Amino acid sequence: MGSFLVLCREALLRVAGAPELFLSMRGTYTASLAAVSMAGYVAGVGDRHTDNFLVDLTSGALVPIDFGQAPSQLAYHIHVLFDCLD
């Protein structure tokens, strides 16, 4: 995991070009990672690894992708989530 963090930091530093933009991108990455992690946990989506994410190199936002998750399963998880919130 340590080498992934170093590679991620180096990639964001290279793309950002300026320290202020790097800090902004790092903050966006961190916030989106937290949001995606919590949403995935609540929805019951397993199988989280680096192959299931893309990073938007303009903002630093983490974009979850999972081509193995069927839309009907995702709709079921969302329905169950909203039932639990009621």
Domain limits of the chain? Answer: 2-85
pLDDT of residue 86: 46
Q: 């991620």: which residue's tokens? A: 8
Q: Given pLDDT bands bounded at 50, 70 and 90, which one contains residue 27?
A: very high
Whole-model pTM?
Answer: 0.66
Reduced to 3 states, what is the DSSP secondary structure of residue 55? strand
pLDDT at 57 over 50: yes
Share the mean pLDDT of the chain. Answer: 76
Rounded Cα gap, residues 32 and 55, in angstroms: 10
Instruction: Find out whether 28 and 61 touch, Cβ atoms under 8 Å.
Output: yes
Q: What average pLDDT does this structure show over 6-20?
A: 86
Q: Given pLDDT bands bounded at 50, 70 and 90, which one contains residue 54?
A: confident
Q: What average pLDDT does this structure show over 68-72?
A: 54
CA distances from 1 to 18, 23, 43, 50 (A): 26, 21, 24, 10
pLDDT at 36 over 80: yes
Rounded Cα gap, residues 38 and 66, in angstroms: 16
Task: Choose which CATH entry (1.10.10.10, 3.30.70.260, 1.10.1070.11, 1.10.150.20) describes domain 2-85.
Answer: 1.10.1070.11
